[in-house]
Amino acid sequence: MIKQFQFNHFEVNSYLIVDEAAKCCAIVDPACEASFEDAQLTQYIEQEQLTVTQILLTHAHVDHIAGLRQCCEHWHLPVSMHTEGRKLLGQAEAYGSLMGFAVDNMSDLEVQEINDNDILHIGSLEVECRYVPGHCPGSLCFVVAAEQAVITGDALFHFSIGRTDLPGGDYPTLIDYLKRRILTLPDDYRVLPGHGIASQIGKEKKYNSFLQ
């Protein structure tokens, strides 16, 4: 199962990848900004009696990591992310002050590096990491074959793509990687983006004007 939450004033989609049989989960992009959002995430995990085994980042833009420190400290886990996102992680406090997020410096958090083609295990679920740069350095998408879904962060949205005008962004790179690494998934796979509504691979191939 993949459970979606929406957090903070940027309306970020955070996800739990859940192995219901093993009662464990991974948190993807802990974007909780307010204390009631922290409580919403924690209470759900506790009510479902889940053990959090990993904290994953699609990328380290501040809106996606607003609750990262709280999650790492609460569950005593490192953050698992692509190594190229470390600089952004260290800049979170500065970017936060510009974008209305009161976040602490995160450069001291323990980091577990994950890379392209790595296979992560959440209980019996396999999660494939696919490197999709272009929106920002260190951007990953997470393919969960058992759920016929891909969590795309800010790389791919419903009939749109991530912006490429921020530091480290590159439009041709994003388009190239999306076509080679994401649109090659089966048409019925759900696209679970970092903002907005879900889609399907087949619909994006047919109707996303950026990817024609």
What does the pLDDT look like over 32-81, one tens digit per residue?
999 999 999 999 999 999 999 999 999 999 999 999 999 999 999 999 99
pLDDT at 93 over 80: no
Which CATH number fits the domain that encloses residue 14? Answer: 3.60.15.10
Q: Residue 103's pLDDT band (boundaries 50, 70, 90)?
A: confident
Task: Please state, rounded to an integer, the average pLDDT across all residues of the chain.
Answer: 94
Alpha carbon distance 22, 196 (integer Å): 30
Report whether 24 contacts 51 (CB < 8 A).
Answer: yes
How many structural domains comprise the chain? 1
In this prediction, residue 94 has a pLDDT band, given cuts at 50, 70 and 90, of low
The encoded tokens of residue 173 equal 């790179």
Whether residue 29 is predicted with pLDDT greater than 70 in this model: the reply is: yes
Residue 104 has pLDDT above 90, yes or no: no
* pLDDT value, residue 59: 97
The predicted model gives 118-127 an average pLDDT of: 98
pTM for the predicted model, two decimal places: 0.96
Phi, psi of 40 (to 5 degrees): -60, -45
**In the prediction, which pLDDT does 81 show?**
98
Question: What pLDDT does 100 receive?
Answer: 67
What range does the domain containing 61 cover?
A: 2-211
